[in-house]
Amino acid sequence: MDNDYFSIDAILAENQKIQCTFKVDVPEVGHLGGGNDRDIKAPAKLPIPIWLAYIILLSEWADLTIPAPFGPRVRNALKAEPRSVRLSTLVGAGGLWYGFGKMIMDILDDEQANIMSDVLTKAFRGRLTEVIDQAQHFATLGASGVAGPAVDAAQSFREGLDGTERELFALAQESSKRTKRWYESHDRARQGTRR
């Protein structure tokens, strides 16, 4: 999530393209857009990988369009009910929606970045409780798993977790499993004789 050079998460989150609108003609780099044109002409819209976009945006060759995973449609859906948005489908399997958002946020100017930060933070907090609830629920279940139609909404929520939330889910599940195991263990007699 941080922009550290060595952070694997940051590299994975960078695996996205963003739409840029070119303001100037750039000669000899038409292949960037995947087309056959030799040059990029002024109002061209091209999806550019993030690592390349930084320098293009900084040199003011192009304007950034906020990518669809953070567009108004998703924002409204998040505002309505953060838990019903499937973040993973927005950024592809194993995608890091928050990481990607953080990167976009760093590119944007202050005012927009603050709005973006609000959207991300609210979404995260809105979904957090549900993540933990489900993680704890799954920690109490055996390997048998769950069945029944009542779990549909929960399952769709789980499938929609983004990479960061998955990590949290695993952490919460592991620790509550461990605590539960301790509460239920009865190896006292053995310990006592060993000491």
Partner 1 sequence: MALPPPLRTSVTPQELELIASEQLVEILPLITMEKTAFISGAYGPLRPPAKCRIPLWMAVNLKVKKKCHIIPPDWLNVEFLQERLSRETSYPEFSQMPFRFAEIAKAILDVAPDDIQNADKVRSLLKDLREARQAKSREGLAKLDHSELSLPNSCSMEINELRPFFIHAMGVLTQLSREGEDRAAAQP
Applying CB under 8 A, the residues found at the interface with partner 1 are 1-2, 98, 101-102, 105, 113-114, 117, 120-121, 124-125, 128-129, 132-133, 135, 164, 167-168, 171-172, 174-176, 178-179, 181-183, 186, 188-189, 191-193, 195
To partner 1, the closest distance from the beta carbon of 174 in angstroms equals 7
64 neighbors 116 (Cβ within 8 angstroms) = no
Of 59, 32, 58, the residue nearest 44 (C-alpha): 32
Q: Which residue has the tokens 């567009």?
A: 71
d(CA 112, CA 148): 44
Beta bridge partners of 49: 17
To partner 1, the closest distance from the beta carbon of 195 in angstroms equals 5
To partner 1, the closest distance from the beta carbon of 53 in angstroms equals 20
Residue 57 or residue 139: which is nearer to partner 1 going by CB?
139
Dihedral sign, CA of 23, 24, 26, 30?
A: positive
Q: Which residue has the tokens 């060993």?
A: 194
Residue 76 or residue 129: which is nearer to partner 1 going by CB?
129
Residue 28 or residue 187: which is nearer to partner 1 going by CB?
187
Of 95, 94, 75, 93, the residue nearest 85 (C-alpha): 75
Residue 22 or residue 88: which is nearer to partner 1 going by CB?
88
67 neighbors 18 (Cβ within 8 angstroms) = yes
To partner 1, the closest distance from the beta carbon of 186 in angstroms equals 6
To partner 1, the closest distance from the beta carbon of 78 in angstroms equals 13
144: amino acid identity, one letter: S
Residue 76 or residue 121: which is nearer to partner 1 going by CB?
121
